[in-house]
Amino acid sequence: MDYQLLLEDIVDTLRPELGKAGQVASYIPALARVPAAQFGIALRTCDGQEAHAGDSTTPFSIQSISKLFALTLGMQAMGEKLWERIGREPSGNPFNSLVQLESEQGIPRNPFINAGAIAVTDRLVSLFDAKAHMLGLLTSLCGEPIAFDDEVAASEAATGFRNIALANFMKSFGRIDNDVGPVLDAYFHHCSIRMSCLQLARAAGYLCRDGQHPYSGEQVLTEKQARRVNALMLTCGTYDAAGEFAFRIGLPCKSGVGGGIVAVVPDKLTLCVWSPALEHSGNSLLGMKALEMFAGRTGVSVF
C-alpha cells in the first residue's frame, strides 16, 4: 500500500468541503479564531514508515487527546489501582456532563470524559509534577520538544466553570485527594498542549506496537495495558459519538475539540487527522470523513 499517495488523495478529495460545514470550537477566543479551512493527516507504521499530507505539520490545540496520555501516565504509575475510582463504561453523555456523577457516587464513567480525566489528573498530582511529566512523556514519544499554549491554558481556567464544578462535585464525594486548584491547573494545561498531526501520529505509536516506545522500543505500557487503552478508545474515546465511530470507522479513536483525532490500527499503524470544524458531539467533521475513507480504502478495521 502506498500510504503517501492515499493520504494525498484523501486531502484532494476533501479539499472542496473545507470550511463548508461544522463549527469551530468557540468557548475560548484562542480556539474560535482558528481558521476552519484547514485539514491535515499523518500516519506512522509500526516499523517506522511515515506518510503525511495537507496541514500535517501545523500545530493545533490537542485538547482532549491529552486524556490519552494522562491515562498512560496514570497506568504507568498506578497499574490496577488507577481503576479504584474510575470506570470503564461509555457514558453516552456529552464529554462535560455532570449528571451521572451524582447517582454514581462521584466515580466517573471512564477516563476520557472530562470528569474521568480530572480524576486521573488528581492521581498524577499526588505522585509527581503532572505538567512536567506530561510534557516529558510527549517530548520523548515524538522526539521533539512539546509545549503548553499559555493563552489557551489561561482561558480554559477563566471559563472552565463546568470543569471546576466537576472537580468540586467529585471532591464532595471524597474522590479527589488534592485541592481542586492544582488538579484543574494541570488538567487545563494538558488540554492546551499544541502538537501537529505528524507529532501525534508518532507519539501514539506505542498503541499499535503492544506498548513499545515508537523510537526506543522500551515498554511505555505493558502489552495488556496498551490493549486496554485501545479498548477504551473504541468504546469511550469519542464521547456520545463512540457508536457512530465504531459503525463508520471501526478503529479505536481519541478526539479533541481542537479538531484532532488520533486513530490506532493495532499491529499496523497510528494515524492522526485534524480539521477544526466539529460536529455536534465535539468531533472533527472532516476528520471523521477522512478516517472513514482511510478505513474504507485500506480495509483496516478491528472488526
- Of 246 and 300, which CB lies nearer to ligand DON in the complex structure? 246
Q: What angle do CA 223, 225, 231 make, to 5 degrees?
A: 105
User: How far apart, in Å, do the first and last CA atoms of the chain sit?
Assistant: 20
- Of 54 and 259, which CB lies nearer to ligand DON in the complex structure? 259
Q: Cell triple for residue 196?
A: 501537529
Q: Is 257 within any annotated ligand binding site?
A: yes
Q: Is 27 within any annotated ligand binding site?
A: no
**Binding characters for ligand DON, 200-219, by CB under 6 A (x = yes):** --------------------
Q: Report the candidate in 234, 241, 232, 250 with the shortest Cα–Cα distance to residue 283.
A: 241
Report the 3 state secondary structure along 43-89: EEECCCCEEEEECCCCCEECHHHHHHHHHHHHHHHHHHHHHHCCCCC
Residue of 114, 155, 212, 225 interacting with ligand DON (CB under 6 A): 114
Q: Is 268 a catalytic residue?
A: no
Give yes or no for residue 63 binding ligand DON (CB under 6 A): yes
- Is residue 161 classed exposed, middle or buried when 0-12, 13-18 and 19+ CB atoms within 10 A define those classes? exposed
Ranges within 69-98 binding ligand DON (CB under 6 A)? 95-96
Closest distance of CB 45 from ligand DON, Å: 27
**Binding characters for ligand DON, 170-199, by CB under 6 A (x = yes):** ---------------------x--------
Q: Is 114 within any annotated ligand binding site?
A: yes
Q: Is 156 within any annotated ligand binding site?
A: yes
Give yes or no for residue 163 binding ligand DON (CB under 6 A): yes
- Of 116 and 205, which CB lies nearer to ligand DON in the complex structure? 116
* AA identity, residue 2: D
Residue of 54, 205, 214, 256 interacting with ligand DON (CB under 6 A): 256
Three-state secondary-structure class, residue 195: strand
- Of 38 and 45, which CB lies nearer to ligand DON in the complex structure? 38
User: What's the CA gap between 78 and 137, in Å, rounded?
Assistant: 16
Give yes or no for residue 237 binding ligand DON (CB under 6 A): no
User: What's the CA gap between 26 and 128, in Å, rounded?
Assistant: 33
Residue of 55, 122, 149, 156 interacting with ligand DON (CB under 6 A): 156
Q: Is 67 a catalytic residue?
A: yes
Give yes or no for residue 110 binding ligand DON (CB under 6 A): no
CA 5 to chain centroid: 26
Give yes or no for residue 55 binding ligand DON (CB under 6 A): no
Q: Is 215 within any annotated ligand binding site?
A: no
* AA identity, residue 188: F
Per the CB < 8 A criterion, the answer to whether 139 and 174 are in contact is: no
Q: Is 125 left (phi over 0), alpha (psi -120 to 50) or beta?
A: alpha
User: Residues comprising the binding site for substrate?
Assistant: 64, 114, 156, 163, 187, 239, 257
User: Residues comprising the binding site?
Assistant: 64, 114, 156, 163, 187, 239, 257
Question: What residues are labeled active site?
Answer: 64, 67, 187, 239, 257
Binding site for ligand DON (CB under 6 A): 63-64, 95-96, 114, 156, 163, 191, 255-257, 282
